[in-house]
Structure 1
């Protein structure tokens, strides 16, 4: 997934905002909370970081091209970074990015989810 495809996909998710932070990284938020980051890769593929469930974190953490996200995972958070190949294909990345969006949105207050139109994600 290119950086442009990453940004296009994240922008298609409900109630997202985009900022450039941390040395030129594309940072995507929902309700003011980060759900995806693109940047910081020395390889030819952009580094893409996203939140996961505990089970997904355990499955992905040791796969080639993936690792626990620097800084975030070291603080006990379940975040994965795609940093090289083979990593995940574009379809898999889109699925994990959408799940990250849902996980972060689900952690927002009911009031904020309602205000942002995110209550449909929680089935409420």
Structure 2
């Protein structure tokens, strides 16, 4: 997946926003909470996944626990360009949904998520 396609897929999700943090990292958030991130070049991808996906992706070696996010079931793909666009779009939707589910009702309403 190209950095441009990843950005488009992430920002197409309801209430999603892009923030540049930690130097030039691209951090995708919903309600101020991170659901995905890439380095400035978009060469890697870190995102929140389900418990089952975390185990499957890390045990098979497709991904590794994301630095600073492993505790919250975040994975990192070191080569985002090798990932399938449809698969990444699905992971982004899941990551967005996992993070959105924990937002307050007021924030969800403000973002049009309810």
Same fold (TM over 0.5): yes
Q: Distance in 1 between matches of 2:31 and 2:14?
A: 10
Higher relative contact order (CA closer than 8 Å, sequence separation 6+): 2
How many residues are treated as equivalent by the alignment? 114
Unaligned runs of 5+ in 2: none
TM-score (norm 2): 0.89
Larger Rg: 1
Cα RMSD (Å) of the superposition? Answer: 2.0
Which is helix-richer, 1 or 2?
A: 2
Cα 1:116–1:40 shift into 2, 3 Å = closer
Q: Distance in 1 between matches of 2:38 and 2:23?
A: 11
Report the equivalent of 2:31. 31
Q: Distance in 2 between matches of 1:22 and 1:62?
A: 29
For the pair 1:82 / 2:101, whether they are aligned, the reply is no
For the pair 1:63 / 2:71, whether they are aligned, the reply is no
State the Cα distance separating 1:107 from its structure 2 match. 0.5
